[in-house]
C-alpha cells in the first residue's frame, strides 16, 4: 500500500503521489465516505492513476463523480474508460458537453494539422452538467462551481474553502492556457475570469498543470496586463518551444519536494 500524502486536508494530487509528471494534475477530493476526481488526463496514464487510487486504499466503487474542468484532450482522453471502470457520473460545463460527447478534434485541441498533431479523442457521455454557483457535495467536502471562460468557453474552476482548483486559467509562472480562436478561446472572457480570481479571497491556486501556488495579485495583475495588450496586438501566437516551469516542476517531483 501507498501512504496517502495530502497536499491540503481532503486533497490528494496524483503527480505528487506518483513522484513524476503526468499529462495533467489529477486531484482526488477525499470526502471520507466517497471521493471525486477532478480531470483524468491521458488514456495511456489512466491505468497508473487507477492503480494509485487502489494502492492508497480507496475503493474504486466509492468514486462519486469525475469533474471535467474543460474538454481538452489532455484532460479528457481517459474519460470514457474512467467512467466505465469507476461506474460513476461525469460532469462538465454545458459548453464542454458537445466537444466531449462528439469527440470534436478541434475544440478539444486533439488535432492541429499545421503542426502534425492528431491525438485520438474517444467520445464520452456527460451524465450531468454543472455551472456557475452549483455546489457539489462529496462526503463531508463541498465544492463551489465557478464558470471561468477564456481558455475555453466551458472552463470551470472549483472552490473548496480557501482553495481554488483553477484549471488552465493561470500557472505559477504567470502563463495561461492556450488561447486560440479555433479552440473557442476569448481574450475578453479570459481577462474577466482572471480578474475574478485576483479579486477573490482564495489563498491557494491548484492548477491543472504545474505546481500548486499561493495566489499573488501582482502575478495576476501582470498576466491580466499582458492579455489586455494581446487583445490589441496582431503578434499573439502559440509557438513556444519549451516551458521552463514544467521542467523545474518535474525535477521537484522526482526529488520528492513539493513547495508552495
Residue boundaries of the structural domains of the chain: 11-231
The predicted pLDDT at position 240 comes to 64
For 191, phi then psi, to 5°, come to -60, -45
Enumerate the H helices of 97-243 as residue ranges: 97-102, 187-199, 217-230
The predicted pLDDT at position 249 comes to 87
Q: Which position has the grid cell 471520507?
A: 32
The predicted pLDDT at position 238 comes to 53
Cβ neighbourhood burial of 167 (10 Å; 0-12, 13-18, 19+): buried
Question: What are the per-10-residue average pLDDT scores of the chain (260 residues)?
Answer: 95 95 95 98 97 97 98 98 98 98 95 90 98 98 98 97 98 94 91 98 97 98 94 65 85 82
Count CA atoms closer than 13 A to 161's CA, side-chain side: 8
The predicted pLDDT at position 239 comes to 58
The predicted pLDDT at position 115 comes to 84
Which three three-digit cell numbers place residue 170? 493561470
- Number of residues written out for the chain: 260
pTM of the model: 0.94
- Architecture per CATH, 11-231: 4-Layer Sandwich (3.60)
Q: DSSP letter for 182, please.
A: G
Cβ neighbourhood burial of 255 (10 Å; 0-12, 13-18, 19+): exposed
Amino acid at each position: 500500500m501507498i501512504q496517502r500524502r495530502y497536499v491540503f486536508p481532503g486533497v490528494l494530487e496524483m503527480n505528487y503521489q506518483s513522484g513524476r509528471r503526468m499529462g495533467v494534475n489529477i486531484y482526488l477530493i477525499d470526502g471520507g465516505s466517497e471521493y471525486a476526481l477532478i480531470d483524468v488526463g491521458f488514456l495511456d496514464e489512466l491505468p497508473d492513476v487507477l492503480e494509485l487510487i487502489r494502492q492508497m486504499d480507496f475503493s474504486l466503487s466509492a468514486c462519486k463523480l469525475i469533474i471535467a474542468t474543460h474538454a481538452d484532450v489532455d484532460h479528457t482522453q481517459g474519460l470514457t474508460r474512467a467512467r466505465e471502470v469507476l461506474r460513476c457520473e461525469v460532469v462538465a460545463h454545458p459548453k464542454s458537453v458537445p466537444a466531449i460527447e462528439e469527440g470534436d478534434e478541434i475544440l478539444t485541441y486533439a488535432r492541429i494539422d499545421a503542426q502534425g498533431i492528431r491525438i485520438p479523442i474517444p467520445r464520452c457521455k456527460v451524465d450531468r452538467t454543472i455551472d456557475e454557483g452549483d455546489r457539489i457535495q462529496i462526503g463531508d467536502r463541498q465544492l463551489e462551481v465557478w464558470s471561468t471562460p477564456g481558455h475555453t468557453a466551458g472552463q470551470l474552476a472549483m472552490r473548496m474553502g480557501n482553495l481554488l482548483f483553477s484549471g488552465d486559467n493561470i500557472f505559477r509562472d504567470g502563463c495561461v492556457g492556450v488561447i486560440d480562436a479555433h479552440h473557442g478561446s476569448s481574450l475578453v472572457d479570459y481577462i474577466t475570469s482572471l480578474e475574478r480570481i485576483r479579486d477573490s479571497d482564495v489563498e491557494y491556486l491548484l492548477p491543472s498543470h504545474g505546481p500548486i501556488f499561493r495566489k499573488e495579485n501582482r502575478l495576476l495583475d501582470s498576466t491580466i496586463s499582458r492579455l489586455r495588450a494581446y487583445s490589441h496586438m496582431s503578434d499573439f501566437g502559440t509557438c513556444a518551444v519549451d516551458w521552463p516551469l514544467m521542467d523545474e516542476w518535474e525535477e521537484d517531483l522526482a526529488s520528492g519536494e513539493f513547495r508552495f
